[in-house]
Amino acid sequence: MKDQPNIAVIGAGVIGMTVAKLFQDQLRNANITVIAEKYSADTTSDVAAGIFKPGTHFKGSTKEITKKWLTDSWHFWQDILKSPDAEQMGVMPLGSYIFSKENYHVTRNHLIEGLVPIYRPATKEELKMAPEGTKFGSYFSTLKVECERYLPWTGKTLVERGAKMIRGKVESFASLSNYDLVFNCAGLGAKYLCNDYDLVPIRGQIIKVNAPWVKHALYGDYDTYIIPGLNGMVTLGGVRGFDSYNLNYSKYDAADILERCCEFLPDLKNAEVIAHKVGLRPHRMPVRVEPELIDGLKVVHCYGHGGNGVMTAPGTAIDAVEIGLNFLRSNVRNKL
């Protein structure tokens, strides 16, 4: 292995930035270049509420890998929560309720019930927080990561330690043949880079409102959620448009979201709207974290996190980085 290997990371969303940061932690002399079309505020990652509540469909290639990704991710964020930098990095603890009028199963989550400190049924008294007719509920303690802070913080740390960030579109892996190793963290962009038809956008839209009085996250039927964040900013959602590529804001979606959220908290009607945002979740089952030798170029893929990429970024990045280090040290290229 070269003393100072040249590493490219495609993508500056939560996956690319986390992979770049963890790789730099492991190999401080690596020459890391992040290449991305879009940074910080323009990424899908920046649209996310970033709550640690995986969809129960979330998975890696085996059950053990899925569990490891979630456990590693949880501990990564918990370690940040114990540090004085937590708020600056956008990480905060958050209590959360899931309510449903009809479906008991949506109030359960086998992926985190043994992981978060508290996961219990809602009490009779707590069920009254939900719209009339609500039969089922759970409360759990979790956390949330705001990419508005996490991405700039991670980027600053990377650059201070010698990484470079360049803006540009990678048209093919062949254009990166001068690198010793490439991490493909292109999110939905991987669909075209890899001709991967298993990768599908799931369109989401949210409203950011100023409502510092909201203290808990609330989930209801029909993808309804109210998620408080730092600085009094609350995320209202949501919608899920399978295979939709439309990044335009829809006023019909916004009206629908607001109406559903007001069923829980009527005062949200009067909250100041800060922004409407739309993002395409890069959905793939399973999430792809694996090496591939492409015309002699060592590539490690890390994409397809769907609606779960913020919370699971660290776990998948730890695996991608380990795969990358082994790949870099192997002489597989020389055998060709």
Ligand X SMILES: Cc1cc2nc3c(=O)[nH]c(=O)nc-3n(C[C@H](O)[C@H](O)[C@H](O)COP(=O)(O)OP(=O)(O)OC[C@H]3O[C@@H](n4cnc5c(N)ncnc54)[C@H](O)[C@@H]3O)c2cc1C
Q: Is 224 in the site for ligand NAG (CB under 6 A)?
A: no
Only segment of 41-49, 89-97, 113-121, 322-330 that touches ligand X (CB under 6 A): 41-49
Between residue 225 and residue 284, which ones bind ligand NAG under the rule CB under 6 A?
246, 248
Q: Is 175 in the site for ligand NAG (CB under 6 A)?
A: no
Q: Is 149 annotated as a binding residue?
A: no
Q: Is 225 helix (H, G, I), strand (E, B) or coil?
A: strand
E-assigned strands of 19-104? 31-36, 91-100
For residues 154 and 163, what is the distance between their CA atoms, to the nearest angstrom? 11
Q: Is 177 in the site for ligand NAG (CB under 6 A)?
A: no
Between residue 17 and residue 46, which ones bind ligand NAG under the rule CB under 6 A?
31, 33
Q: DSSP secondary-structure letter at 288? A: E
Q: Is 321 in the site for ligand X (CB under 6 A)?
A: no
Min dist. Cβ of residue 35 to ligand X (A)? 6
Here's the x/- map for ligand X, 204-233, by CB under 6 A: it reads as x-x---------------------------
Give the closest residue to 284 by CA, choosing from 57, 53, 66, 110. Answer: 57
Q: Is 170 annotated as a binding residue?
A: yes
Q: Which residues contact 29 (CB under 8 A, 6 or more apart)?
A: 3, 4
Q: Is 332 annotated as a binding residue?
A: no
Which of ligand NAG, ligand X, none lies near 246, with the C-beta cut-off 5 to 8 A by kind?
ligand NAG
Count of residues that bind ligand NAG according to CB under 6 A = 6
Which of ligand X, ligand NAG, none lies near 134, with the C-beta cut-off 5 to 8 A by kind?
none
Q: Which residues contact 225 (CB under 8 A, 6 or more apart)?
A: 49, 217, 218, 219, 235, 236, 237, 238, 261
Min dist. Cβ of residue 182 to ligand NAG (A)? 11
User: 10 Å Cβ neighbour count for 3?
Assistant: 7
Between residue 110 and residue 169, which ones bind ligand NAG under the rule CB under 6 A?
none
Q: Is 45 annotated as a binding residue?
A: yes
Q: Is 255 helix (H, G, I), strand (E, B) or coil?
A: helix
Q: Is 281 annotated as a binding residue?
A: yes
Task: State which residue, 135 or 169, has the beta carbon closest to ligand X.
Answer: 169
Q: Which of 5, 7, 9, 13 binds ligand X (CB under 6 A)?
A: 13
Task: State which residue, 98 or 239, has the beta carbon closest to ligand NAG.
Answer: 239
Give the closest residue to 92 by CA, choosing from 233, 272, 206, 187. Answer: 233
The CA-based diameter of the chain, rounded to the nearest angstrom, is 67
- Token pair belonging to 210: 């100023």
- Token pair belonging to 37: 């079309």
Dihedral in degrees, nearest 10, Cα atoms 132, 55, 86, 151: -120
Min dist. Cβ of residue 289 to ligand X (A)? 11
Q: DSSP secondary-structure letter at 131? A: P
Binding site for ligand NAG (CB under 6 A): 4, 6, 31, 33, 246, 248
Contacting residues toward ligand X, per CB under 6 A: 10-16, 35-38, 43-45, 47-51, 169-170, 185-189, 193, 204, 206, 237-238, 279, 281-282, 303, 305-311
